[in-house]
Structure 1
Amino acid sequence: MSLAQPVTFKHSGLTAPTPTLKSAMTERLCTYDDADLGARGKTTPEYNRLYEEWGKGKIGVIVLGNIPIDREGLEAKKNAIIDARSPFDPVENLKPAIAAAKAHGSLVIGQLTHGGRQTSEEITKTPVSSSDVQCPPMGGMTFAKPRPLTVEEIDQLVTAWGYGAEVLYKAGAHGAQLHGAHGYLLSQFLSGRVNRRTDDYGGSLENRYRIIDRVFKEIRRRVPDEKFMLSIKLNSQDFAEKGLTNEESKQVCLWLDEAGVDLLEISGGSYESMGTAWSHQKESTRKREAYFIEFSAAVKDSGIKSAKVCVTGGFRSKKAMEEALGTGACDLVGLARPLTAEPYLIRDMLEGKTDAARENKFAAGMQTGASIVQIAAISKGEPIPDLSDEKVCDEVLAILQGGADQKKPVSEQDTSNYQKSENKL
């Protein structure tokens, strides 16, 4: 299957111009205040410019994210936020970025999330989760022991997710995606490792899935327009003892398909297990590039009737993408870090300018930080650090470690080997 082949989603009837997806990433370009919760989550010109640039890249589906639905349950500082308690209009807040991302034909959906126990102590000392199982330190972050959500609080969060989707709809987005992967709150409910509840939201897989089922029903109640796409990002498995298994995830995918979800984005792991999840487990997987392609193929063979399946993680070459699509192992290919290095990568592949993403030589455990530096550069119209160059990697590492002059833009540190953004603003 060619990267130029459009993809039409059954329930919404929407068509993505290419079978590609920009997966949600942490942009960290919005307002934040430690004390004033109402000052958190407002978008900025830089946030809008970032999505303007990705909108030029002929990406089939662009996912905004992560967007917390609670201004205390953040994935990170400077997230965009949709919270009914915020003093600003969330619809007007997101309209510019959505319009910019849609301008060249991409479908645009917003990823709605809650950090749960993975909200860092710098943001809250009193996180909530499905149970009181504490998240271990990760990437320099520490996490307080969470408090189990009450049933009343679960009800409030279901309402908040529905409100978030309604905001996206009114702001012009084509759909909403729930973040049910990578150890965030909905993933914490799905995981038998984290979810120790004994009420209707714990125990059996059906009970652990209950909150997701309720959220999708609430979204459809608030946004009955079938053209508004429903999506979820889901772990193929948690790669952790007693966590969500392949078979459990496959069953959840079947339930989601029956519920009318148009797009299942498959990923894997959590803060506890990223080193295991985001690695090539088999030689066959290494050759195919995608980390979770075997699971995606199994899901498609398990009885999925209408949902399209996207695999995110590992894809770098046009050949591997088209082979995965051609074999039917997935319907879309998802990209994240390659699009912070080259926001026009898909367009360049389609136009024959390149056949693969540039190599990333940055230290594996710090690539998220490097991508955040690249995102900042795109958002300011500055040269994008080229991580295929070891000298540039050293410069970016210095920035991340605080050894560079933080008052200077990345471009003024050393621009000799950086890849320029097309942004002319």
Structure 2
Amino acid sequence: MFGNSPFSFQEPLGETDYKDEELCWSVPQYPYQPIQHPFIMPSPEVSHALTLGQSLTFPFSGKTAKNKLMKSAMSERLSTFSSYDPMERGQPTEELVRLYETWAIGDIGIMVTGNIQIKKDHLEASGNAIIDWDLPRSYLEDFKEVARAAKSHGSLVLGQLSHPGRQVSITIQPYPESSSAIEHPPTSGVLFARPTPLTKDGIKDIVKRFAYAASFLQKAGFDGVQIHAAHGYLIHQFLSRRSNNRTDEYGGTLQNRMRLLLEIIAEIKWAVNDPTFMLSVKINSEDSVPDGIDLEESIITAKVLEAAAVDLIEISGGTYEQGQQLAQHRTLFSAAREAYFIDFADQLRPHLRQSRIAVTGGFRTTRAMAEAINLGSTDVIGIARPLTAEPLLVKAILRGTKMEAKSDKLPPIQLLRLAASGSQIVEIGNGEDITDFDSTFNVSRFIARMLKEIPASMSELLSIHNCST
């Protein structure tokens, strides 16, 4: 009567049958299988997009990011620079504004700027943006333009504040300052001068400069700041026993080595006087060098930062000193698990109750990103270099049209890959087409250019990997 229907009319067979006054039918005896409707069982693209697209509210400032994807800091080097006159340095340019306008279109939840320096004569590189109380106040209008551009599509924007300490090329600063007079070893052909230990008055000056820069960015319209305490720069130099042999209250125990960072946080909070101003700190998971910061110290540091009401703790790793060894390690590790520092995040997570965690480094697929969120390893996914190759990558991920960042054919050489990403930043800032490094021809041409610009270090690195142009 009903063709191939599993239900058939028949005489009652027992207690498993259902009966009314006129009809009797038996229940089919096989497991129920629900229809896989696309809205009930979403595709991986949709599932990942839903996970990553969730908003996130930060516990202390109350700020809310529209999604869980963050552009991590990259050195843009698109501000003014003069080798002769420090008063003509650090002013944001139209190219820097255009760069952040482009990234803003990509619907990134949080954007962290490149390292803004707090002293005009202590730079990570030429072209850094600078906030220094000696520089013209007119710079405020330029930083307002950067904030306007970056926030134009609803992103939260944090200005990363930094001081290079001893980790600055001798050609830029022949008289660096640091926690101690421990010279940075030459790395990838870059020479560093022997630093002068900061006096206590010098430390107080550093603290006030960080606070001034944060207040400056607040006036410019930024949502908050990130303190750069990783990657071998000044604050990291105080945190690490490898670069800090002081015998006063800023050296020795971890509590003492953290003192500069905590004083900066306290001074920033006093200067901005706004509980809704967001505060983030970037730390190393571990340094992977003798006498460097280890896993236990990093966990303690993160717990203290939470007690200091830091909204977002970004986990990264490595130092400039590690150079090529770090690049080789990361390449092997990412092949196994993609995210470089997710293991540390797993160990840190149980120790934090309020501060949010961001993990940066290695993420390339939405599968790994969504998995890290769903497993509770991290709250925020930090993305850096993929966004120089594809500025609108986040928008594509959230629309479910991309599940993986664009690949490239660059050799696994940290210096080369950083330079390639930097060249793409310049192209975006200039409104030019972005070089596709998935092209062997483009890679060969770029390596040839690099050999002309920094021949000694690049030739050495290329020979290690048997790469040729």
Q: TM-score, normalised by structure 2?
A: 0.83
For 1:46-85, list aligned pairs within 5 A: 46-85=95-134
1:394 aligned residue (444, 452, 455): 444
Comparing 351-360 with 95-104, greater Cα deviation is found at: 351-360
Which residue is equivalent to 2:375?
327
Matched, 1:134 2:183: yes
Q: CA deviation at 1:280?
A: 5.4
Are the counterparts in 1 of residues 333 and 340 from structure 2 also a CA contact under 8 Å?
no
Which residue is equivalent to 2:384?
336
Which residue is equivalent to 1:208?
257
CA distance, structure 1, for counterparts of residue 448 and residue 325 of structure 2: 27
Are the counterparts in 2 of residues 373 and 396 from structure 1 also a CA contact under 8 Å?
no
CA distance, structure 2, for counterparts of residue 179 and residue 228 of structure 1: 17
Are the counterparts in 1 of residues 327 and 412 from structure 2 also a CA contact under 8 Å?
no
Matched, 1:160 2:209: yes
Matched, 1:92 2:141: yes
For 1:173-192, list aligned pairs within 5 A: 173-192=222-241
1:144 aligned residue (193, 197, 208): 193
Which residue is equivalent to 2:303?
254
DSSP 3-state at the match of 2:248: coil
DSSP 3-state at the match of 1:203: coil
Change (3 A) 1:274 1:320: farther
**Counterpart residue identity of residue 387, structure 1:** F
Matched, 1:310 2:348: no
DSSP 3-state at the match of 1:116: coil
CA offset digits 1:28-52 (Å, max 9, x no partner)? 1111111101001011110110011
| Structure 2 residues without counterparts, runs of 5 or longer | 1-49, 454-469
Q: CA deviation at 1:282?
A: 11
Matched, 1:268 2:268: no
Are the counterparts in 1 of residues 96 and 429 from structure 2 also a CA contact under 8 Å?
yes
1:376 aligned residue (405, 419, 426): 426
Are the counterparts in 2 of residues 90 and 167 from structure 1 also a CA contact under 8 Å?
no
How many residues align? The count is 402
Which residue is equivalent to 2:21?
none
2:272 aligned residue (223, 227, 230): 223
Which residue is equivalent to 2:16?
none
Are the counterparts in 1 of residues 76 and 425 from structure 2 also a CA contact under 8 Å?
yes
Change (3 A) 1:175 1:330: same
Q: CA deviation at 1:58?
A: 1.2
**Counterpart residue identity of residue 288, structure 1:** R
Which residue is equivalent to 1:415?
none
CA distance, structure 2, for counterparts of residue 183 and residue 136 of structure 1: 12
CA distance, structure 2, for counterparts of residue 61 and residue 126 of structure 1: 35
**Counterpart residue identity of residue 29, structure 1:** L
CA distance, structure 2, for counterparts of residue 67 and residue 292 of structure 1: 24
DSSP 3-state at the match of 2:261: helix
Which residue is equivalent to 1:416?
none
Are the counterparts in 1 of residues 116 and 160 from structure 2 also a CA contact under 8 Å?
yes
CA distance, structure 2, for counterparts of residue 282 and residue 393 of structure 1: 18
Q: TM-score, normalised by structure 1?
A: 0.92
Comparing 354-363 with 316-325, greater Cα deviation is found at: 354-363
Are the counterparts in 1 of residues 334 and 362 from structure 2 also a CA contact under 8 Å?
no
CA distance, structure 1, for counterparts of residue 141 and residue 333 of structure 2: 47
Matched, 1:117 2:154: no
**Counterpart residue identity of residue 206, structure 1:** Q
Q: CA deviation at 1:279?
A: 5.5
| Structure 1 residues without counterparts, runs of 5 or longer | 404-425
DSSP 3-state at the match of 1:231: strand
CA distance, structure 2, for counterparts of residue 284 and residue 26 of structure 1: 24
Whose radius of gyration is greater, 1 or 2?
2
CA offset digits 1:293-314 (Å, max 9, x no partner)? 0101111112x12110000000
CA distance, structure 2, for counterparts of residue 321 and residue 286 of structure 1: 15
Change (3 A) 1:46 1:281: closer
Change (3 A) 1:250 1:285: farther
Q: CA deviation at 1:269?
A: 1.0
DSSP 3-state at the match of 1:346: helix
Change (3 A) 1:387 1:95: same
Matched, 1:199 2:232: no
Comparing 272-281 with 229-238, greater Cα deviation is found at: 272-281
Change (3 A) 1:284 1:395: closer
* RMSD of equivalent CA atoms: 1.5
Which residue is equivalent to 1:411?
none
Are the counterparts in 2 of residues 177 and 232 from structure 1 also a CA contact under 8 Å?
yes
**Counterpart residue identity of residue 433, structure 2:** P
CA offset digits 1:213-269 (Å, max 9, x no partner)? 000000000112111000011000111100111100100000000000000000011
Which residue is equivalent to 2:350?
301
